[in-house]
Structure 1
Amino acid sequence: METLEWNADYATGIPEIDAQHSYLFELTNRFIRGILGQSEMIPLPQLLSELSAYARRHFSYEELLMQRAGYAHLEEHRQSHDRLSDRILQYSSEVEAGRLDPRDLAEFLRNWLKLHILRDDMRYIPALTSKGGNHGNA
């Protein structure tokens, strides 16, 4: 299993969004390195709690920017965020029941982050940048 590598392909050009995405990559990578025995393993409940809290903060920020910009696909994007939040809750239940393979969670996070940023998040960039760049003070 490979870690995620942040590169220019994932950059939105919005510094706060890029910093938040980069942190989500780092959180996922810390978990992957733990699974691979390259660093101390983050306990699953701790990872899911931190991921859930940070993702909610990030999603709220993104959605606020999209709302301010009048982004036409905001509701669709919000639903994608809601699906991830629901999935994290599902994983939390599986952790409590002892049924979660950490590798499954790591693979899901890797794939979701890469696809969501490249496919979904990049779609809102033109709407945000065409509104005069007022995205740094949400």
Structure 2
Amino acid sequence: MPYIDWDANLETGVAGIDHEHRRLVQLLNDIHELIVAKADPIRIADTLADFHTLATAHFALEEKIMRDQKYPAFAQRRETHRRLLDEVRDIMDAYDAGSYREGQSLPATLRQWLFQLMSIDVDLFTRITPASLRKWGLTQG
């Protein structure tokens, strides 16, 4: 059973952003499956690192776009990004230290935060003109 089911309502209509969102969901599902299956902790830690790396880059792009577009909820959004990345980092550190309980599931907060962030992205990217999207190397569709 996946940790997160993809929902088409989370699509922003911006191909690159939607691709990254799907990839983030897939990575969390992979991490969840590895944890539940009691896979090698190194493999779990590596997949967590992949998620953290992609999320960091994705959030940085979103924050640049929000700043450029003078998005009104920029500060709150940046803080939510930071908290999500901190939680993933805490899980990574626990795996590195060997203190994450074997078979322990991912915290529900990760799922909640990711869905919250992607829902807000739908609002954000509907406000942006195609010309502004091109500035960031993004296209609608």
Counterpart check, 1:117 vs 2:118: yes
Q: What residue number does 1:16 align with?
A: 16
Amino acid at match of 1:77: R
**C-alpha RMSD of the superposition:** 2.6
CA–CA distance in structure 2, aligned partners of residues 124 and 8 of structure 1: 16
Q: Structure 1: where are the runs of 5+ without partners?
A: none
For structure 2, the 5+ residue unaligned runs are 137-141
Change in Cα spacing, 1:125 to 1:82, as seen in structure 2 (3 Å) is same
- Residues 106 and 94 of structure 1: CA distance in aligned 2, closer, same or farther (over 3 Å): same
Contact 2:32–2:105 under 8 Å retained in 1: no
Give the Cα–Cα distance (whole angstroms) in 2 for the partners of residues 15 and 133 of structure 1: 15
- With a CA cutoff of 8 Å and minimum separation of 6, indicate the structure with the bigger relative contact order: 2
Normalising by structure 1, what TM-score? 0.79
SS at match of 2:75: helix
Per the normalisation by structure 2, the TM-score is: 0.77
Q: SS state of the match for residue 134, structure 1?
A: helix
Q: Distance in 2 between matches of 1:25 and 1:7?
A: 10
Deviates more, 1:52-61 or 1:67-76: 67-76
Counterpart for residue 139 of structure 2: none
**Aligned mates of 2:105, 2:92 — CA distance in 1:** 13
